[in-house]
Amino acid sequence: MALEGDFAQEKSGWVADQLAKIDETGSTASVHVAGQAVVVFTYRGPKTGKLYRRPLMRVEHDGVYAAVASKGGAPEHPVWYSALLSNEVVEVQDGTTVVSGPVREIHGAEREQWWERAVAAYPPYAEYQEKTDRLIPVLLVEPGRA
C-alpha cells in the first residue's frame, strides 16, 4: 500500500535536484553519489504529518534495505533518523521498484554485519565513523514483514 498525503517542500537544493531527476526519469538509477547507487526512502514526518523523501546510499541484501544515519560523521544524528523510526511503514524506491515495510534499528552482531555491507556499498562510511564519537545507527526496512 502506497503512502498517501502531501509532500513536504525539500529545503536542501542538492537533494531537491536529485529528487527532481529521479521524478523526471522515474528511476533512482538516474542519480549517483560518488559513482554509487542511491535509493529513496519515503516516510511521514511525525510533527507535520507530511511525506518526506530522502535519497540515501543503496545498501541492500536479499530485498532488505539499510538506512545508514551517518550525516557525514557529524556528532549528531540526521533529522530523518528519528522521523524514520516514528513510522510503522516506510517505502523504498530502488530503480523503478517501490517496496514498503516496517523499519527498525539494529544492534550488536546484526548491526556489525550490516555495517560491513554498508561500507562495501559506500566506503566513505568507514571514514564517517572515525570522525564521530557516536555509533552510527543502521536502520532496516524489511519489505513483506508485518
Question: Residue 31 pLDDT > 70, yes or no?
Answer: yes
pLDDT of residue 3: 77
For residue 126, give the nearest of 61, 117, 43 by alpha carbon.
117
Structure pTM?
A: 0.90
8 A C-beta contact, residue 59 and residue 118: yes
Radius of gyration (Cα) for the chain, nearest Å? 14
Burial environment of residue 106 by CB neighbours within 10 A (0 to 12, 13 to 18, 19 or more): middle
8 A C-beta contact, residue 96 and residue 22: no
pLDDT of residue 9: 76
- The model's pLDDT over 70-106, given as tens digits with 9 standing for 90+, comes to 999 999 999 999 999 999 999 999 999 999 999 999 9
Structural domains of the chain, ranges and CATH numbers in brackets: 13-141 (2.30.110.10)
